[in-house]
């Protein structure tokens, strides 16, 4: 593998991060100017902006005929968003779980994961199925913005001091729109560099493109979410930290996979490995959120550590499986018969304890 390939990968990743930062900054200011709540900004504008690298990489990959990278990027990013990013953010400071997240957005994330798995069961996400996914994100975004503006207007009428200051003028809006557009351009260019370098690295190392998409590319394109959520958590904007992750996962499943499948003749191919393991892990991780989100108002540092531990185990499995290491059967046995059952019991105990404390 040449130095040029390594430099191209690093340059692509840096352009993705810088582009996402510009896109989020411009889009967030535009959203705030029209009166959207911080939570919904996290769920939509910030989440969609930080997921723009996934969109760029998956669409570029699908157009280049690299369906494994396109699918692996989304699946790996969703797993990383919950286990790695929520884990790091909760370790930085316990995260606040709003009622809207617990009752609407997290259950929708679980349903979207199940729907994608069901649609991909035959080994392909066709163009029609992909179009339905994309319509789903349009409906979700429209409802979220409508509901937020309605509640914001109600609160502003009851408490006039909470009204958002009007924008300074058309020049400010145009400037923010230009920043967002520049960020999008950097994202597209960075994605092209990153995909080419990742495919070259996969061929050189003899590692499957799916594994590269699930690990290096997925984590790399999730860096904007990681930075955004950790910084938001440290600054006390903890609803944005959680909303960013949940919104990004919904965007990845509905918009990224939807658009990637729509622009690809015949749709996206989904490998047997992705169906038999990676999509199952993604769905299981989404289900793991339910007892944690629905039974408490916070995600504790202990629960953050649990997420991180599982992400480390997931990466370890991918590496062991890729090289067919002799320790793989023992690792699978320990995870399947010890770690996962203990986690289920632990989550049940946490659920009972939180409900008992609520009753008291």
Q: What is the DSSP string of 180-201?
A: HHHHHHHHHHHHHHHHHHHHHH
Spans of all domains in the chain: 3-300
The whole-number pLDDT of residue 162 equals 45
Residue 157 DSSP SS3: helix
Tell me the C-alpha distance between 99 and 292, whole Å: 13
**Strands 298-299 and 95-96, bridge-based pairing:** antiparallel
Nearby residues of 100 by Cβ (< 8 Å), 6 or more positions away: 39
What crossing angle do the helices spanning 106-119 and 238-251 adopt, rounded to 10°? 20
The whole-number pLDDT of residue 133 equals 95
* E strand or H helix that includes residue 320: helix 301-323
Taking the CB of residue 14, how many other CB atoms lie within 10 A of it? 15
The whole-number pLDDT of residue 233 equals 76
Q: Mean pLDDT by 10-residue block, N- to C-terminus, for the chain (360 residues)?
A: 82 81 74 70 78 84 86 89 90 82 89 94 92 94 81 58 53 80 80 77 74 72 75 73 88 93 90 89 89 78 89 87 86 85 77 64
Dihedral through CA 130, CA 136, CA 142, CA 144, nearest 10?
Answer: -130
Count how many residues are written for the chain: 360
DSSP 61-115: HHHTT-HHHHHHHHHHHHHHIIIIIIHHHHHHSPEE--HHIIIIIHHHHHHHHHH
The whole-number pLDDT of residue 154 equals 62
The whole-number pLDDT of residue 164 equals 47
In CATH, which superfamily holds the domain spanning 3-300? Answer: NCX, central ion-binding region (1.20.1420.30)
């Amino acid at each position: 593998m040449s130095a040029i390939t390594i430099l191209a990968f690093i340059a692509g990743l840096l352009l993705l991060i810088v582009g996402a930062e510009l896109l989020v900054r411009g889009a967030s200011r535009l959203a705030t100017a029209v009166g959207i709540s911080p939570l919904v900004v996290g769920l939509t504008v910030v989440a969609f902006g930080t997921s723009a690298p996934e969109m760029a990489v998956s669409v570029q990959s699908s157009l280049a005929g690299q369906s494994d990278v396109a699918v692996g990027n989304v699946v790996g990013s969703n797993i990383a968003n919950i286990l790695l990013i929520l884990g790091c953010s909760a370790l930085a400071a316990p995260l606040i779980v709003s009622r809207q997240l617990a009752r609407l957005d997290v259950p929708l994330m679980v349903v979207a994961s199940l729907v994608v798995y069901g649609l991909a069961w035959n080994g392909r996400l066709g163009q029609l199925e992909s179009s339905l996914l994309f319509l789903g994100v349009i409906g979700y975004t429209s409802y979220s913005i409508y509901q937020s503006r309605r509640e914001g207007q109600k609160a502003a009428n009851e408490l006039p001091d909470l009204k958002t200051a009007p924008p300074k003028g058309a020049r400010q809006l145009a400037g923010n729109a230009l920043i967002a557009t520049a960020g999008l351009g950097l994202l597209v260019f960075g994605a092209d560099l990153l995909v080419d370098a990742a495919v070259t690295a996969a061929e050189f190392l003899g590692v499957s493109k799916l594994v590269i998409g699930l690990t290096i590319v997925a984590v790399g394109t999730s860096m904007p979410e990681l930075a955004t959520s950790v910084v938001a958590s440290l600054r006390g904007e903890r609803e944005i930290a959680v909303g960013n992750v949940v919104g990004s996962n919904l965007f990845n499943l509905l918009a990224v996979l939807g658009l990637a499948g729509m622009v690809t003749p015949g749709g996206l191919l989904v490998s047997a490995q992705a169906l038999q393991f990676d999509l199952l892990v993604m769905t299981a991780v989404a289900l793991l959120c339910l007892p944690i989100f629905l039974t408490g108002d916070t995600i504790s540092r202990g629960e953050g550590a649990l997420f991180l531990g599982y992400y480390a185990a997931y990466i370890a499995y991918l590496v062991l499986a890729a090289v067919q290491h002799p320790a793989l059967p023992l690792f699978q046995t320990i995870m399947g018969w010890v770690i996962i059952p203990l986690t289920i019991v632990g989550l049940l105990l946490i659920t009972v304890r939180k409900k008992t404390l609520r009753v008291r």
